Structure 1
Amino acid sequence: MKEFRDIKINEDESVDDLQLKDLFLIQKLDGFKFGVDAVLLADFANVKSKHRVIDMCTGTGIIPFLVYGKYSPKSILGLEIQEDMVEMANRSVKINSVDNISFINGDLKDLKLLKSIEKADVVTVNPPYKLNNAGIVNPRDKMAIARHEVMCNLEDVIIAARILLKDNGRVFMVHRPERLADIITLMRKHKIEPKRIRMVHPNKCKAPNIVLVEGQRDGGAFLKWDEPLFVYNEDGTYSDQINKIYGREV
């Protein structure tokens, strides 16, 4: 394990090895942890070394670090509404000694803030999936903010993506298949054209439980379906597809 001198790690935090380019991430021991969704989104995003990337709803910063490790873009900015998450993500920047990843505290519904940020070639987002229904009553609940549309909804996310993107820039989103009609409808409403979709299934016998969507700001109408991705084989082992994404030997 790497030593992290002069970087404060709190008792309720862990430092997790991302197993990618010797990168590490600080996370809360009992808080919201990144999962396969973030790994799949980073793999799905078409990022080039010349690109400026903005990650919305960045949380602890997992997607910026995965994107950095995979593609080494020009710069990556993470935007997160929870101040303590931003502080933690910026400590992860120091741990990894990277100079082209940064995080800011802000609300993606703050249009003045969004317009003050330099436009991006690529926007990535792993937004809250669940509708804010009567079962969610505490807007300060950090797990609720991560999982439910408490602080923003899907339309807020798409409006923000349009503002942050350069002309013809691309947004890459991970979400749930049951929201796909909403995603396509709202993208077109705000002049982001859906360009590519990939369904992710637990295995070949189960319906998809994750969808990856690429949209282009002011793009022309043409939609491509990628081959489906199966996370597990029938015997419960990881598929060759997922092993390749995780950088494991196949």
Structure 2
Amino acid sequence: MNELLKDGERIDEIGFGNLRLIQKPEDFCYGIDAVLLATFAQVKKRGRAVDLGTGTGIIPLILSHRTEASELVGVEIQKDSYERGLRNISLNDLSERVSIINTDIKLLTKDKKLSPGSFDTVLSNPPYVSGNGGLKNKMAAKTIARHETTAGLADFIREAALLLKDRGDFYLVHRPNRLVDICTLSRKNKLEPKELMFVSPNRTAAPNILLLHCVKNGRPELKFLDPLFVYDEEGNYTEEILKRYERI
């Protein structure tokens, strides 16, 4: 097992079956956002799904446990995260279903890394902070993960639309303050917002996360889902969150 780890890395149990994840805290560790997105998305049986900005592959790994998708692809620009993701696939014996591509998402279809219109589902947990906003972390890996330094929201939504089949599903996790931008860009790319859920840390806090489901060339009709609360009064995960760790 030690041969899979490099300096500063650790192996974590992620709470989905026996799945484990190699992470390097100095670079970046996944958060609740990835879990929320992976458990919000509905992936068809024998469907093909791609995760844009996959990091070390946490979302494809969770989907391998929760769904019967035939193929799960992650796309990651950072070489170190990509390489760690490859080892995560090997660690969990998922090479027959899960793969990761090391490239800029803006070049995916242009360079024919993936074929347009070939996926049933696209997911993305992109950087939340616009290119010029927020305090940038000195560590490059964390900066790229949190800030739009290599690709912006428009790039992620455009590429998602290109990769999806007609009536395919796009699932996004982001911040509520970008909702107008998200909906505007989605419609511009013929991704119709269909379901929206707001997530709050607890029942007394304002939402700090949104989950959005769009359908390519779908009819206009947006449904607001019941809000989700992460922690209860004692600071423990709510029942709604715990249920998300159960396999569908």
The structure whose RCO (Cα within 8 Å, separation 6+) is larger is 2
Deviation of the 1:140 alpha carbon: 7.9
Structure 1 partner of 2:124? 125
Structure 2 partner of 1:71? 67
Is the CA contact (8 Å cut-off) linking 1:122 and 1:169 kept in structure 2?
yes
SS of the residue 1:122 aligns to: strand
Is the CA contact (8 Å cut-off) linking 2:13 and 2:21 kept in structure 1?
yes
Is the CA contact (8 Å cut-off) linking 1:114 and 1:164 kept in structure 2?
no
Is the CA contact (8 Å cut-off) linking 2:136 and 2:143 kept in structure 1?
no
Structure 2 partner of 1:39? 35
SS of the residue 2:111 aligns to: helix
Structure 2 partner of 1:21? 17
Given candidates 109, 112, 118, the residue that maps to 2:110 is 112
Q: For each residue in 1:125-167, what CA deviation from the matched residue of structure 2 results, as whole angstroms up to 9, or x when unmatched?
A: 0000001116667998111100001111110110000111111
Letter in 1 for 2:64: Y
Deviation of the 1:115 alpha carbon: 6.7
TM-score normalised over the length of structure 2:
0.92
Letter in 1 for 2:170: V
Structure 1 partner of 2:99? 102
Letter in 2 for 1:23: L
Structure 1 partner of 2:223? 224
Identity across the alignment (%): 43
Structure 1 partner of 2:58? 62
SS of the residue 1:113 aligns to: coil
Deviation of the 1:169 alpha carbon: 0.5
- Residue correspondence of structure 1 range 47-58 to structure 2 within 5 A: 47-58=43-54
Q: C-alpha root-mean-square deviation of aligned residues, in Å?
A: 2.0
Distance 1:135 1:240, change over 3 A: closer
Letter in 2 for 1:238: Y
Is the CA contact (8 Å cut-off) linking 1:115 and 1:164 kept in structure 2?
no
Is the CA contact (8 Å cut-off) linking 1:77 and 1:103 kept in structure 2?
yes
SS of the residue 1:48 aligns to: coil
TM-score normalised over the length of structure 1:
0.92
- d(CA) in 1 for partners of 2:138 and 2:168? 32
Distance 1:212 1:135, change over 3 A: closer
Is the CA contact (8 Å cut-off) linking 2:52 and 2:123 kept in structure 1?
yes
Deviation of the 1:8 alpha carbon: 2.5
Query: Structure 2: any 5+ residue segments left out of the alignment?
Result: none
- d(CA) in 2 for partners of 1:102 and 1:174? 22
Deviation of the 1:83 alpha carbon: 1.4
- d(CA) in 1 for partners of 2:214 and 2:228? 19
Distance 1:55 1:247, change over 3 A: same
Given candidates 81, 84, 88, the residue that maps to 1:85 is 81
